[in-house]
Chains A and B, each alone.
With several copies, the nearest count.
Chain A
Amino acid sequence: MMKEQWMEVLNNRPIALDTYEMTLHGKLASSMTQPGQFLHLKIGDGFRHVLRRPLSIADVDQEDQTVKIIYKVIGEGTKWLSQAKPGNQIHVLGPRGHGFPVENVADQHIYLIGGGVGVPPLYYLGKQLAENNRVTAVLGFQTKDAVFYEEKFQELGETMILTDDGSYGKRGLVTDVLESKMDLYYSCGPLGMLHAVTRKLNDVKGYVSLEERMGCGIGACFACVCKTTDPNDERGYRKICKDGPVFPAKEVVLWQI
């Protein structure tokens, strides 16, 4: 269950502004069945970069043993990834964490609510949900050039694109279009968005996927904790890398400091 492996880059291409889709191949792919889990990737040679980078599983093809990740170039790690060429090997630890619960979810009308690079894990999730449910995707991006995977989501169900600057789709925030009469929602994106979404859909059952800077990525270092909402919770915190990154929306505190 705890696995690490070199995976081979099959493809690595820009799909939007500063955003790349990388296809990795390797046996590890066969364990990547749960949407919302992440891969923990080693950057570069040796120990120049002592921390791995967490990136969500965006899609998996079990037959080909391939997994797709979609990442935005932010700093040194993602820049290094963006320069990888087909044939390069990348050291991967994963799949890590607990993803979106999908078992026994059927005949529901479901929101997939994503913001920016929070969108990728929703795609693999949507593919699984769309089989037995009605799926509506609400995806927010900063600007037109940042939009990706619109058509792929359209294949799964109704898809609304919003941009902050109105350069594509509707102008505004995802919360502008959300309605409460849904059965279930799954959301991934910046903390501010998640916070707004959970408030707006207060009466709807939902799951959110959180981000935090990680040390170990396996639950040993306490770098990635968040607080629980229940003051009587036995521990009072959750580890995002291990207990999460996906939590029931009501379980964790989204707005702190």
Chain B
Amino acid sequence: MADLNVSLPGLNLKNPIMPASGCFGFGREFSEFYDLNQLGAIVIKAATGEARYGNPTPRVAETPSGMLNAIGLQNPGVDQIIEKELPFLESFDVPIVANVAGSTVEEYVEVTEKISRHPVIQAIELNISCPNVKEGGIQFGTDPKTAAHLTEKVKEVSEKPVYVKLSPNVTDIVEMAKAVADAGADGLSMINTLTGMRFDLHKKRPIIANETGGLSGPAIKPIALRMIYQVRQALDLPIIGMGGITSAEDVVEFLLAGADAVAIGTANFLDPYICPNVIESLPNTLEKYGFSSVQECRLKGE
């Protein structure tokens, strides 16, 4: 059977599949569907310094082969997450990646400092790209200097490797990747959502109360693949790839593009069993295309 192991900074994965941040909460709900120990890793929902309620509803809308979301980083705050959510995750033998967000460099630093100390957390995913919160998200994710500065500061305090999650809403993704790489990022996570909109024909206004939302799902897969490929040509940094994955074939496509592991977001909503299903079919799919391991497939893309 094809070897699914992947070894990345801080993350020893039994397989390259992890649920993406924001699409899996803190794992509780999905643990009622299947044994979370099957997962390669789990990326938990974004943590901020204080509790946040997020944006007004409606927060989601459907688009062709995709969806928009503008949750607005609703979360109970880093302290509550550490106190109430992480203990539950301790009971699983799965590396946990903490997604860190904030409105200021100080907030990112504070959250990273706190959460990266927790033994269950194996890596930090720095969410510089959430386009929904007006007070800063867009800045961090689209300006290379600001992103580099943030990465540097977070790296200074983080006790775990830091994966910077890139926003696709930029002219030059390679420039962004290089900036955070030079600033010390241990890896990249890409892509976050593309900013989009839908209109309610009856109400004659945007469906999403926040007007714009982040586009995710299969619709964005070709953009994710292109960006990962471009960054892979330019850099050697580990990449956790995501954007529209719904099948083991998609995973192979992301590996060929240059991803080292992948995350599945939106597809969890339509099929709560998508992660274990993809993990189950991955070995056969790899073999079908002539690969004896994830590693071999990943290198083929070079």
Chain A residues proximal to chain B, CB less than 8 Å: 1-2, 4, 42, 46-52, 93, 212-227, 235-237, 242, 256-257
Q: Pull 12 A–B residue pairs with CB atoms less than 8 Å apart, ordered by A.
A: A50-B267, A51-B60, A215-B59, A216-B23, A216-B29, A219-B25, A220-B30, A221-B269, A222-B25, A223-B58, A224-B59, A225-B74
Distance in Å: Cβ of A213 to nearest Cβ of chain B: 4
Whether, in the assembled complex, B22 has its beta carbon less than 8 Å from a beta carbon of chain A, the answer is: yes
Q: Let me know if A226 and B218 touch, CB within 8 A.
A: no
Q: Let me know if A222 and B64 touch, CB within 8 A.
A: no
Interface of chain A: mostly helix, strand, loop or mixed: loop
Pick the contact of A225 from B22, B24, B30, B54 — CB < 8 Å? Answer: B54
Q: List which B201-230 residues lie within 8 A (CB) of chain A.
A: 207, 209, 217-218
Q: Let me know if A4 and B272 touch, CB within 8 A.
A: yes
Q: Let me know if A257 and B67 touch, CB within 8 A.
A: no
Q: Let me know if B67 and A237 touch, CB within 8 A.
A: no
Q: Let me know if A215 and B57 touch, CB within 8 A.
A: no
Q: Let me know if A52 and B53 touch, CB within 8 A.
A: no
0/1 per residue, B66-95, Cβ < 8 Å to A? 110101001010000000000000000000
- Residues in B whose Cβ lies below 8 Å from that of A227: 53
Q: Let me know if A2 and B33 touch, CB within 8 A.
A: yes
Q: Let me know if A222 and B71 touch, CB within 8 A.
A: yes
Q: Let me know if B60 and A257 touch, CB within 8 A.
A: no
Q: Let me know if A216 and B33 touch, CB within 8 A.
A: no
Q: Let me know if B32 and A221 touch, CB within 8 A.
A: no
Q: Let me know if B209 and A257 touch, CB within 8 A.
A: yes
Which chain A residue shows the least CB distance to B267? A47
Which chain A residue shows the least CB distance to B19? A220
A47 in contact with B218 given A2-B32, A216-B23, A220-B268 (CB within 8 Å): yes
Distance in Å: Cβ of A245 to nearest Cβ of chain B: 13
Whether, in the assembled complex, B1 has its beta carbon less than 8 Å from a beta carbon of chain A, the answer is: no
- Residues in B whose Cβ lies below 8 Å from that of A93: 272
Interface of chain B: mostly helix, strand, loop or mixed: loop
Whether, in the assembled complex, B246 has its beta carbon less than 8 Å from a beta carbon of chain A, the answer is: yes
- Number of interface residues, chain B, beta carbon within 8 A: 40
Q: Let me know if B269 and A215 touch, CB within 8 A.
A: yes
- Residues in B whose Cβ lies below 8 Å from that of A50: 62, 65-67, 217-218, 266-267, 269-270
Distance in Å: Cβ of B117 to nearest Cβ of chain A: 25
Pick the contact of A216 from B53, B268, B273 — CB < 8 Å? Answer: B268
Whether, in the assembled complex, B119 has its beta carbon less than 8 Å from a beta carbon of chain A, the answer is: no
A52 in contact with B64 given A226-B57, A235-B76 (CB within 8 Å): no
Whether, in the assembled complex, B196 has its beta carbon less than 8 Å from a beta carbon of chain A, the answer is: no
Pick the contact of B62 from A46, A51, A220, A236 — CB < 8 Å? Answer: A51
Which chain B residue shows the least CB distance to A226? B57
Which chain A residue shows the least CB distance to B270? A50
A3 to B184 Cα, complex, angstroms: 45
Whether, in the assembled complex, B290 has its beta carbon less than 8 Å from a beta carbon of chain A, the answer is: no
Distance in Å: Cβ of A125 to nearest Cβ of chain B: 25
Q: Let me know if A242 and B29 touch, CB within 8 A.
A: yes
Q: Identify 17 new A-B residue pairs, CB closer than 8 A, beyond the known A214-B60, A222-B45.
A: A4-B273, A47-B267, A50-B65, A51-B269, A51-B270, A52-B270, A213-B57, A213-B207, A216-B29, A220-B29, A221-B23, A222-B59, A225-B57, A225-B59, A235-B76, A242-B29, A256-B56
Which chain B residue shows the least CB distance to A77? B62
Pick the contact of A213 from B30, B61, B272 — CB < 8 Å? Answer: B61
Which chain B residue shows the least CB distance to A224? B57
Q: Let me know if A223 and B209 touch, CB within 8 A.
A: no
Which chain A residue shows the least CB distance to B273? A4
- Residues in B whose Cβ lies below 8 Å from that of A52: 269-270
Q: Let me know if B60 and A215 touch, CB within 8 A.
A: yes
- Residues in B whose Cβ lies below 8 Å from that of A226: 57
0/1 per residue, B250-280, Cβ < 8 Å to A? 0000000000000000111110110000000
Which chain B residue shows the least CB distance to A51? B62
0/1 per residue, B174-210, Cβ < 8 Å to A? 0000000000000000000000000000000001010
Which chain B residue shows the least CB distance to A74? B202
Q: Let me know if B246 and A218 touch, CB within 8 A.
A: no
A257 to B53 Cα, complex, angstroms: 13
Q: Let me know if B59 and A213 touch, CB within 8 A.
A: yes
Which chain B residue shows the least CB distance to A48? B65
A222 in contact with B67 given A213-B60, A257-B209 (CB within 8 Å): no
- Residues in A whose Cβ lies below 8 Å from that of B67: 50-51, 215
Which chain A residue shows the least CB distance to B25? A220
Distance in Å: Cβ of B241 to nearest Cβ of chain A: 17
- Residues in A whose Cβ lies below 8 Å from that of B71: 221-223
A42 to B33 Cα, complex, angstroms: 17
A257 in contact with B56 given A215-B69, A216-B29, A216-B268 (CB within 8 Å): yes
Which chain A residue shows the least CB distance to B27? A220
- Residues in A whose Cβ lies below 8 Å from that of B23: 215-216, 220-221
A176 to B115 Cα, complex, angstroms: 55
Q: Let me know if B269 and A216 touch, CB within 8 A.
A: yes
Distance in Å: Cβ of A211 to nearest Cβ of chain B: 10
